[in-house]
Amino acid sequence: MQFRDLKQQYHALKNEIDRAMIDVAESGNFIHGQPVRDLETALADYTGVKHCVACANGTDALTMAMMTWGIGPGDAVFVPDFTFFSSGEIVAHAGATPVFVDVHEDTFNIDANELDRMIQKVKREGVLRPKAILAVDLFGLPADYVALNGIAEKHGLLILEDGAQGFGGNIKGKMACSFGDIATTSFFPAKPLGCYGDGGAVFTDDDETAELLRSIRVHGKGAMKYDNVRIGLNSRLDTLQAAILSVKFKAFRDYEIGAVNAVAERYTHELESVVKTPAVPPGYYSSWAQYTIKLDDRKQRDALQARLKENGIPSMVYYPKPMHRQAAFAGQNFDENDYRVTTKLADTVLSLPMHPYMKDEDIALVVKAIKQ
Ligand SMILES: *Cc1c(COP(=O)(O)O)cnc(C)c1O
């Protein structure tokens, strides 16, 4: 059994993907060819956002947002303590300070009350300027944007939606990657919509922001490529990846997103009486980047993971270390009391095999092993 079976997906779409790759090879247009623009149009349309700017990966997408807003030294960006490293890394990389915020035990996403408390704390201390909230749609579930928008408005902050895991989810029909002033996603192979290497995208409704992003991704270009009006990056999405994504996006939209939701429903139905299954609040739709259960403590979690392994069932711990405990951020002074939920989650979470091509027999095997 595979944790996320990418080979099976390739075989389901092989003819179309092979054709798309050969077409790019024959076109000779390897950089920013037509498939890149076509993909941007399709994804803007799907998310309901005016502009989609494809780029080299999800980390660059976040960095480009920081650059667009001119975030740098002295600025505070509020980031959930329970997330993938990139979400905090790009803030520090911009020279700003990530202020980590604890998460909700049931949704794994940033806790709005804790966020408000941390913003007030930073304001009281008077050392850093609060600038933006980086909200992560962790494991595929959109963050609580109703509450976050209220807090952003109250304190005059921007919202950056890190939708690397959230693409395809929605809240009452409003799609993930449409919630922030800027939103980003990643096409890393194991993400909900993945390519065959690295890729990412930035989303915004704002025309000026979109123009800035398009300049930044090609060395800060001005009117043309050899006219450089600002310091940028080299962060293009390959034509080849865009062509592969155009095939995979159709499958994602038409049936894969429904298929992962069916797997999740089945897991929850079978497991909710045995372990703590992931919560999906009313009106929310997840893209199930991960299906993550919670055990009572670290001992029980580690024992279950070992037992699953003996049965040939792969599982993963996302994430074993809170951001505030990462050595890379050791220079900052953190109060352990601010991160009780994340610290507990790091010891108790376990992500199960999850992908749109999962067979009923495999789901049954996972369920049976856990029940045992
Ligand atoms: C994967 C991921 C990223 C980074 O995406 P890459 O394409 O690997 O650079 C950022 N944030 C979150 C939450 C992620 O899961």
Look at domain 255-371 and name its CATH class. alpha beta
Whether 136 lines ligand 1, by a CB cut-off of 6 Å, is yes
pLDDT tens for residues 92-127?
A: 999 999 999 999 999 999 999 999 999 999 999 999
- pLDDT for residue 224 is more than 90: no
The predicted pLDDT at position 250 comes to: 98
- Can you give the chain as a three-state secondary structure string? CCCCCHHHHHHHHHHHHHHHHHHHHHHCCCECCHHHHHHHHHHHHHHCCCEEEEECCHHHHHHHHHHHCCCCCCEEEEEECCCCCHHHHHHHHCCCEEEEECECCCCCCECHHHHHHHHHHHHHHCCCEEEEEEEECHHHCCCCHHHHHHHHHHHCCEEEEECCCCCCCEECCEECCCCCCEEEEECCCCCCCCCCCCCEEEEECCHHHHHHHHHHCECCECCCCCCECCCCCECCCEHHHHHHHHHHHHHHHHHHHHHHHHHHHHHHHHHCCCCECCCCCCCEECCCCCEEEECCCHHHHHHHHHHHHHCCCCCECCCCCCHHHCHHHCCCCCCHHHHHHHHHHHHHEEEECCCCCCCHHHHHHHHHHHHC
Mean pLDDT computed over 317-326: 98
**Residue nearest atom 6 of ligand 1, based on CA coordinates:** 58
Mean pLDDT computed over 351-355: 98
Query: Is residue 264 within 8 Å of residue 358, measured between CB atoms?
Result: no
The CA 167 to ligand 1 mean position distance, Å, reads 12
In ligand 1, the atom with minimum distance to the C-alpha of 57 is 7
- pLDDT for residue 225 is more than 90: no
pLDDT tens for residues 153-202?
A: 999 999 999 999 999 999 999 999 999 999 999 999 999 999 999 999 99
Backbone angles phi, psi at 303, to 5 degrees: -65, -40
The predicted pLDDT at position 19 comes to: 98
pLDDT tens for residues 124-138?
A: 999 999 999 999 999
The predicted pLDDT at position 276 comes to: 98
pLDDT tens for residues 271-300?
A: 999 999 999 999 999 999 999 999 999 999
The predicted pLDDT at position 348 comes to: 98
Paired tokens of 160: 């950056």
Enter the CATH code of domain 6-101+108-247: 3.40.640.10
| Closest by Cα among 214, 172, 175 to 193 | 175
In ligand 1, the atom with minimum distance to the C-alpha of 165 is 15
Mutation pick for ligand 1 pocket among 79, 160, 191 (CB with most ligand atoms within 8 Å): 191
In the structure, what pLDDT confidence band is assigned to residue 319 with cuts at 50, 70 and 90? very high
Domain ranges of the chain: 6-101+108-247, 255-371
Give the burial class of 308: count Cβ atoms within 10 A of its Cβ; 0-12 exposed, 13-18 middle, 19 or more buried. buried
Whether 351 lines ligand 1, by a CB cut-off of 6 Å, is no
pTM: 0.98
d(CA 211, CA 106): 38
The predicted pLDDT at position 335 comes to: 97
pLDDT tens for residues 33-79?
A: 999 999 999 999 999 999 999 999 999 999 999 999 999 999 999 99
The predicted pLDDT at position 259 comes to: 98
The predicted pLDDT at position 202 comes to: 98
Whether 89 lines ligand 1, by a CB cut-off of 6 Å, is no
In ligand 1, the atom with minimum distance to the C-alpha of 289 is 15
d(CA 41, CA 38): 5
- The mean pLDDT value of the chain amounts to 97
Mutation pick for ligand 1 pocket among 79, 139, 165 (CB with most ligand atoms within 8 Å): 165
In ligand 1, the atom with minimum distance to the C-alpha of 60 is 9
